[in-house]
Chains A and B, each alone.
Chain A
Amino acid sequence: MDFHFTDEQRLLRETLSRFCQDHYRFGVQGQTAPRPGYWSELAELGVLALPFQEADGGLGGDMVDAMLVMEVFGKALAPEPYLANIVLAGGVLKRLSDKDRRQALIGELVSGEARIALAHAEATNRDSLSHVDTTARREGNDFVLNGDKIAVLDGAHADTFIVSAMVKGAGLTLFLVPANSPGLSQQGYEGVDGFDTSNLGLANVRIGEEALLCEVGEGLDLLEPAIDDGIVAIGAEAIGIMSFLIEATIDYTKTRKQFDVPISSFQVLQHRMVDMFIEREATVSLLYKAAILAGSGGPEAAKAASALKVHLGRACRVVGQQAVQLHGGMGIADESPVAHYFKRLTIISQQFGAADTHARRYAAIDRRSGDTSKQIA
């Protein structure tokens, strides 16, 4: 049992922190947009290849490494599509059973040439993983896709989508769909959290059998662990954001004077900041557990991811809201960085399913696995 980072991991964190300091600046309206060049710089640094197996063209890291990256990005509020491309799309691709295909797709992804986005969420399916309304109808050797996707992260920049759809009689299936496919339409927008996002329309999009990423009906086996990876990633991002907000709040309350004293001298505010700190520490603990277990693929990994997400539901609110509250009006001023960290943290609290969804999943896994009091860790 050991929670220390290796020297390489510490070095990575320093390098990436410097990269963020050099590249990202706050403008009047939040973080400056990412530039296309940054993504290839990150590819050159090896950050994109980090969490993939060496045999697949990666650097042999795992979700603990991805966690480090996301924490640094969170702390800088860096608007890079690491979650969308590397963790989510990459999370599906690294689990493909076809070795040649896996290596080819991961190769394109980690070089920064390809931008692949996961299109799963729908307006009518809330947080369901196993069911979508989008359909894939067989026509000879082809599939014809119909449906509407929302909240496609980095969708506007993607050249390829991983689309989830139901195949009649078989179930959820994942397809690789080029962005320029006839019948595919997209509505891009900036998310309230500053990330480029889009909604996707699929109207009789015809794709060949080669678009299948899994056996028909077995998409959940790829999707579910990839989403759990996503939960680890946003959990780490949340840690970076919470760290920023807690430091900023401490600094602010020490300098802000009211009634002739720094407001940090008020015990009621001190205890709020302690509450923020305690929520952060609990998040770190649940995050480490989920990140370490992420590679194992068992029910304990899924349960740990859901535990993290249940906790994030509350922790993001507590830390975000109190940071704003203790900054007073400045906390909701658009020129204040705190306001923008607050926005991203708010979205994280419900991304990949709100707390209730994951509480249900946690209880379901628990029901199947039984008494946990005899484990030592």
Chain B
Amino acid sequence: MTPELETLPIWVSLPVTLLLLLGSAIILIGALGLVRLPHFFQRIHGPAITITLGTGSILIASMIYFSALQSRLVIHEVLITAFVMLTAPVVAMLIMRTAVYRDLRARDRGQDDSTEDDEATNEVYPFSTKK
């Protein structure tokens, strides 16, 4: 560990500790949601909490820590915050549009052959409308 860590006052190390623990818990919850949730349109909610809340808390912890470590205001982590907050909705919306397009295309392709496995098709493609 770095030797400057002993010189940190308690009003710096306490919020940094709490924010790091909060961020790690939120990141773990998001990854668990990505693995455990049953459907794709439910699974996309898991990484959203990682990207917004987990990234935000760890970036705020980093800002507080480096500002105390260098005895001046270090806020260049705001760049990452702004970039992530700008691009996260764009990425989520593009992935969702891709999923909807691919589901519709798979439904159009699946209408040619017989509809004997309707249950499995409806499980994978939620936009398939059974006749």
Are A and B co-members of a single complex?
no
Q: Which residues of A contact B (CB under 8 A)?
A: none
